[in-house]
Amino acid sequence: MSEISAGDSAFMVLSTVLVFIMTPGLAFFYGGLGRRKNVINNIFASVAAMGICIVLWMCVGYSLAFSGNTLGLIGNFQNAFLGGVSTSAPGPFAPTIPAMLFVAFQMMFAVITPALFTGSIAGRMRFATLLVLIATWSLVVYYPLAHLFWGSGGLLGTSGGLGAVDFAGGNVIHISSGVTGLILAVVLGGRKGFEHGVDYRIHNVPFVALGMALLWFGWFGFNAGSAMGISDGLAVHAFMTTGAAAATGMLSWMALDQLTQKRFTLVGASTGAIAGLASVTLGSGYIPIWAALLTGLAASPICFGVMRLIKQRFRTDDALDVFGCHGIGGLLGGLMVGLFGSTAINPVLPHDGLAFSGDFTQLGIQLAAAAATIAWSGLGTAVCLGVCRLFGPLRAGEREEKTGLDLSQHGESAYPSFNGLD
């Protein structure tokens, strides 16, 4: 039986805290990108996910994702309420850290994933309905996907399944939330004025930059921590691929800004960094550092083009570009593993990528896994929306939207007017 490593455990505690800070970072990122009258609502969506998803994970989420195996699709209730999970002995998924620490690390993934798709429907969804959606989506979409890729015997993963890899959540987190965000944007329809080409101005650029910085900071724990330890060098490799893709994603978007607007923008640079990070997540522990540089370089123009296509060609109001950034970023990550994945970097990868082997096998596996993720996320989201309709309308009323969701849903104002010395 493996022994607990103090070094690995300390590293994983740090990584868990880093992943946790990503959700407040996302709150600021989305809050800044949205309209002034909806900034509290946008931030609150991520904050609420922290409460809902932590409780659900402790009650049933971990057990459904990682305990047992039911038809390769989902776990069971063996570890419901974290029963039987040791705080001092290792578990089956990380042999050198306490089992409960693995639970805590994975819990932070479960928190940020539904928070991601809230950006697609910014400014128009009833908050009470959104709370129901976050809870049901976690149960119907996220926990099964986590089991399919990472659980013992999951149909899509490497433990007796298809053989697809997902180092830190390109499929489980980014594609799933991106697809869900796109479906929500289509079902709810555009914000008022969207069909007439209204320019929804970004109301707080410093919030956007702060959110990006917190996300990038936390993403080092997100990807490096997915190595589940520090001793074998894989975490250091994932740390460097993460930084590489974020940096080239940022620079690539800055170049796009200069080409299209004849100026550099802080919002563009921030968005490019997030696109690079989303794109390298799946392969951060499988591809060389030079391939991570290429990933970020490619991510920005691809995500930029898809964002424009969705809004201008298909007239879909994915308000904060969740699908264009995270959905497409996750797809790109799978493609890069199929092309540049290396078993020399991580022997968990079943086959070398096309560039190293001349073999399309892993590329085909990754594309099949992405297609399965899209299908599961789409069908699951449809089920969740059906449940949400039982609790009331999905969309806020016209007057509520016009007033702003901060006042109409929460009775709060982010920027109250200054009256004397009050």
Q: Are 78 and 67 in contact (CB under 8 A)?
A: yes
| pLDDT (average), residues 274-287 | 98
pLDDT for the residue numbered 419: 52
Task: Please give the DSSP secondary-structure letter assigned to residue 417.
Answer: P
- In the Cβ-directed half-sphere of 72, how many Cα atoms lie within 13 Å? 12
Is-contact 294 332, C-beta < 8 A?
A: no
Q: Hey, what CATH topology would domain 6-82+92-410 get?
A: Ammonium transporter fold (1.10.3430)
Does the reported pTM lie above 0.85? Answer: yes
- Residues above pLDDT 90, as percent of the chain: 94
Mean pLDDT of the chain: 96
Confidence of residue 192 (pLDDT cuts 50, 70, 90): confident
pLDDT of residue 195: 79
Q: Is 397 exposed, middle or buried (0-12, 13-18, 19+ CB in 10 A)?
A: exposed
Helices (H), 67-154: 99-117, 127-137, 143-150
* Centroid of chain to Cα 91: 25
What average pLDDT does this structure show over 101-105?
98
pLDDT digits (tens, 9 = 90+) for 362-390: 999 999 999 999 999 999 999 999 999 99
201 pLDDT tier (thresholds 50, 70, 90) = confident
- pLDDT of the residue at 315: 93
Q: What is the DSSP letter of 230?
A: S
Q: What is the mean pLDDT of residues 255-264?
A: 97
Q: For residues 50-58, give the mean pLDDT.
A: 98
CA 119 to chain CA centroid, nearest Å: 11
- d(CA 186, CA 188) in angstroms, rounded, equals 6
Least confident of 77-81, 194-198, 387-391: 194-198
- Residue 421 is predicted with a pLDDT of 43
* pLDDT reported for residue 357: 97
Asked whether the predicted pLDDT for residue 420 surpasses 70, the reply is no
Contact 225, 12 (CB under 8 A): yes
- In terms of phi and psi (left: phi > 0; alpha: psi -120 to 50; beta: otherwise), the region of 81 is left
pLDDT value, residue 298? 98
Counting beta carbons within 10 angstroms of the beta carbon of residue 88, is it exposed (0 to 12), middle (13 to 18) or buried (19 or more)? exposed
Taking the C-alpha atoms of residue 396 and residue 401, their distance in angstroms, rounded to an integer, is: 6
What is the model's pLDDT at position 4? 96
178: left (phi over 0), alpha (psi -120 to 50) or beta: alpha
Q: Could you tell me the two tokens for 253?
A: 């978007």
Residue 125 backbone phi and psi in degrees, to 5 = -105, 140
Q: Domain ranges in the chain?
A: 6-82+92-410
pLDDT of 317 higher than 50:
yes
- What span, in angstroms and rounded, lies between the C-alpha atoms of 404 and 400? 6
In this prediction, what percent of the chain has a pLDDT beyond 70? Answer: 98
Whether the CB-CB separation of 138 and 56 falls below 8 Å is answered with yes
Residues 256-269, mean pLDDT to the nearest whole number: 97
- Give the model's pLDDT for residue 194: 84
